[in-house]
Structure 1
Amino acid sequence: MNAIHLRKRLAVGAVAGLAVVGGVVGLSAYAAPGTEAEPIDAVTVAEVQEGGVRGASALTHEAALAVLDAAQDKAAELDQRVTVAIVDRSGNTVAMVQGDGAGPQSPDSAEAKAYTAVSWGRATSDLTEAAEGEGATIADIPGTLFLAGGVPVVYDGAPIAGIGVGGAPSGDIDEEIALAGLAALENLDG
């Protein structure tokens, strides 16, 4: 997902959220001076039954920070300037660090690799052959990048996040850094 598209989504979401909050708060803000505003009751549109809701596993922010730290530590050890991105199961970026000196293309590359890894539940290096060939391939799917450097985070047999690294001169180095971030999850206290 490119940065411009993500910024548009964030801007639209923020404006919509402000409009809702402004509408609710604004009703009491425009009460006549010296009068007390009536509280607004929430309106229930539909009560969702237990069978209509599913739980989803996601990384905690502590886990995401551990991944970012471990990956950037590995990048420093390898003398690489990279960006590390983490996306959730829906492909939304939940954390990102652009290392000092990382190229301007590295955030987009890292996000796309993370998105690709979580989408297929496999390392992007394992998917490069499927993206090659004549005619339409999986490489035609928007927001994907089939270069090494993206790894999925799997919990209870299903991908719940993707880690992507962009900016090293080779995808193999990006993947080594991503794997260092993934390994940090094994050391978390549960």
Structure 2
Amino acid sequence: METRREKTSPRTRLLIGALAAAALSAGTFGAVSATASTPRQAPAAETAEAADRNVHRTRHLTVDAATRAAQAALKAARQDGRQVTVAVVDRNGTTVAVLRGDGAGPQSYESAQRKAYTAVSWNAPTSDLVKRLETTPTLKDIPGTLFLGGGVPVAVDGAPVAGIGVAGAPSGALDEAYARAGAAALGVR
């Protein structure tokens, strides 16, 4: 049996060759593209190291701890017969808890918050910061701060996590003593 071969024209052969070359090129390009677009998966340890370099971690006082500290400060003031307001702010200066004692003056609310904010901002008691005003009087111009005794920072491993401010006692020294009682209730600095 004889098979008959039809003769194809040069134009048809050229077209078939071009189509074959295009198909082969497309397959090769697709394989290279697929390989190039697949990102290399970093090992978990490498990813964790990158996260540690790019993320700053901070500690914050819990709401329960802030409430406990405020209650302890208010109790210490009550035992001395003083009417005060106690404010506890977190590391960012955001108010977490405020307790206004019976009979505390209306100005004590904002003063307590500002003392707490000042203490956490500088990680120092506000009574110490008052002394800095002698050499740097413009510190008092920073919004939200109050450079009067009565604010103490709460720190863990040397880094501030909160500030406690007390206002309303007859002196900043008494306010600070009550704020320290609040900090002592937390078992840290």
**TM superposition score normalised by structure 2:** 0.69
Report how far residue 53 of structure 1 moved: 2.6
**Residue 67 of structure 1, CA deviation:** 0.3
Give 2:43's aligned residue: none
Counterpart amino acid of 1:128? V
Task: Name the residue aligned to 1:152.
Answer: 153
Q: Name stretches of at least 5 consecutive residues in structure 2 with no aligned partner.
A: 1-49
Identify which of 78, 81, 87 aligns with 2:80: 78
Identity %: 56
Provide the residue aligned with 1:93 in structure 2: 95
Tell me how far apart the structure 2 counterparts of residues 184 and 49 of structure 1 sit (CA, whole Å): 35
Q: CA deviation at 1:55?
A: 2.0
Over the residues paired in the alignment, what is the CA RMSD in angstroms? 1.8
* 2:62 maps to which of 52, 60, 63: 60
Structure 1: gaps of 5 or more residues: 1-47
Partner of 2:106: 104
In structure 2, the partner of 1:124 is 126
Please give the per-residue CA displacement for 1:162-183, whole angstroms capped at 9, x wherever unaligned: 0000111111110010010010
Q: Which has the higher helix share?
A: 2
> How many residue pairs end up in the alignment?
139
Q: What is the CA distance between 1:66 and its match in structure 2?
A: 1.2
Q: Deviations over 1:114-169 (max 9, x none)?
A: 01000110000001121236x85211111111110000000121111100001111
Rounded to whole Å, the distance in 1 between the matches of 2:137 and 2:85 is: 30
CA distance in 1, matches of 2:137, 2:178: 31
Q: Which residue of 2 aligns with 1:19?
A: none
TM-score (norm: length of structure 1) = 0.69
Amino acid at match of 1:137: T
Rounded Cα–Cα distance in structure 2 between residues aligned with 1:124 and 1:180: 15
CA contact (8 A) 1:68 1:181 kept: yes
Partner in structure 1 of residue 23 of structure 2: none
What is the identity, as a one-letter code, of the residue corresponding to 1:91? G
